[in-house]
Amino acid sequence: MSLNYGIFRSEPIMTINDLAQIGSHNKREKKAYKSNKDIKLELSKNNIELVPLAEKYVKGFKLKVKDYEKEHNERMKTERPERKRTFNEMLNKSKSVVADELLFTTTNKFFNDKSKEEIMRWANTCMDFVYNDLGYTKEQVLHATIHMDELTPHLHCVVIPLVKKLDKRTNTERYTISKKQYIKDNIHLSELQDVYNVRLREAGFELERGIKGSDRKHQKVKEFKKTTRYFEEKVTTINKGLDNAISDFEEKMKTTKNTLIDKEYIKVRKDTFDSMHKVINETKKAMEFQPKMEQLFNEVETFSKSHQTLEKENANLQREVKALTTRNQNLTKENNNLKDYIKAIFKAIKHFFRELLQIGNDKIKDLTTSEIKDYYDNKDFDSDDVYDISKGTTKEDELFDYAEIPSYMKSSKKSYREKDKDDFEMSL
């Protein structure tokens, strides 16, 4: 006699756009499903809504998190312009999820002789697990539906892990979306899958626990493929943004070189300074994204190596892992190019900052000093960078103190008048 297995998965939803796409699928809002031939739209009338949602997913999500969005918008009022982000931008750039999709199903034969009432009893057992074992409240469930229009019936339950946590920096409670409050890691997920199996058997369903690790391999490949596509598009966008910013900056610099030297300072055109800020902001975007790429490379490489033997058991999964590895190698080359790009830009930015500290007026020097401090706070600059930029300038004392550079490394100030005229040219 063949065994039937109870299956529980957790699939993170990372962006608002992903949430919208999943909503369209779960609510059957598409006219056709070319990627899934198992979906029979003529049977969709048989789907069962356990937790209905009249609105589209994104609108329903916004209603659930309206207090979080209000809190975020209030906080943004006091943020500096370059650090302000819309609520959606903050969610999409966060390392956390915006929602989590819980999928419950079994092997197909389990449903062969089941009435609608029995399927509902199975689904309610799953929802009891969501509330009592995972710990979600009914208010945190965005939508739950049983799909009866596919080969095997299954339950989609989309939850929003919205919680209030103590912010140690401000010593206040703030809203956040944190899946780890409910499913800490893969080890915890495996333990929860054990509990889920116990709940099924307690309810009288003769289902075995799914094979440990087998489903996770399939889900990991799916997740990697999706993430890799996103990263490929992101690298293209970042490179384009950097190219445009640098081209604009170079054009502005052509006019800056012809600026006359006053007795006390050189005036830097506002549009040149704004253009330089655009280069800085685009570079920061690249720097923020680059560690995520590194993490993806490491995860894919580790995953591929650790499952090389196991993949032989599944030819289709093996092909997917091989294709993913190839794409990862291509993305690695793109990442190396991006790192070289960032390195060159940072060298130019440090050079430009130093020249502004040497030749700018008081306002320009103050703005530049503030920017250098931000770079240092964000660990984009270290104390050696601050030393190289500020040594011998009028801002040396202030920046040395800020970066805790020893006083014996300070030098006697050298006025810009002692520099050769050629040194005043600012170039990238």
Write the CA distances from 259 to 350, 353, 402, integer angstroms. Answer: 21, 17, 32
The reported pLDDT for the residue numbered 218 is 54
Quick one: 234 and 158 in the same domain? no
Residue 8 near residue 119 (C-beta atoms within 8 A):
no
Structural domain containing residue 126: 5-211
The reported pLDDT for the residue numbered 151 is 83
* 380 in any annotated domain: yes
Instruction: Select from 241, 219, 229 the least CA-distant residue to 331.
Output: 229
Instruction: Select from 327, 347, 341 the least CA-distant residue to 241.
Output: 341
* 173 in any annotated domain: yes
Quick one: 333 and 411 in the same domain? yes
Token duo for residue 381: 């600059």
Quick one: 285 and 376 in the same domain? yes
Phi, psi dihedrals of residue 94, rounded to the nearest 5°: -70, 150
* 221 in any annotated domain: no
* 113 in any annotated domain: yes
Quick one: 181 and 243 in the same domain? no
Count how many domains the chain has: 2
Quick one: 151 and 109 in the same domain? yes
Write the CA distances from 407 to 375, 398, 401, integer angstroms. Answer: 21, 11, 8
The reported pLDDT for the residue numbered 318 is 57
Write the CA distances from 312 to 1, 301, 317, integer angstroms. Answer: 26, 17, 9
Predicted confidence pLDDT, tens digits, the chain (428 residues): 456 778 898 999 999 999 999 999 899 887 666 556 678 888 889 899 999 999 999 999 999 999 999 999 998 998 888 888 999 999 988 888 999 999 998 877 888 888 999 999 999 999 999 999 999 999 999 999 999 988 888 999 999 999 998 877 778 889 999 999 999 988 899 899 989 999 999 999 888 776 565 555 555 566 666 666 666 666 677 667 767 777 776 676 666 544 444 444 445 556 666 676 676 676 666 666 666 666 666 666 665 555 544 444 455 555 666 666 676 676 667 667 766 767 777 787 888 888 888 888 888 888 889 889 988 887 878 889 999 999 989 999 999 999 888 877 876 544 433 343 333 333 33
Strands 172-177, 154-159: pairing is: unpaired
Instruction: Select from 149, 142, 153 the least CA-distant residue to 101.
Output: 142
Residue 267 φ/ψ region, left for φ over 0, alpha for ψ in the -120 to 50 degree band, beta for the rest: beta
Residue pointed to by tokens 């949602």: 53
d(CA 319, CA 118): 38
Give DSSP secondary structure letters for 337-385: HHHHHHHHHHHHHHHHHHHHHHHS-HHHHHHHHHHHHHHHHTTSS-HHH
Quick one: 143 and 23 in the same domain? yes
The reported pLDDT for the residue numbered 141 is 97
Quick one: 90 and 29 in the same domain? yes
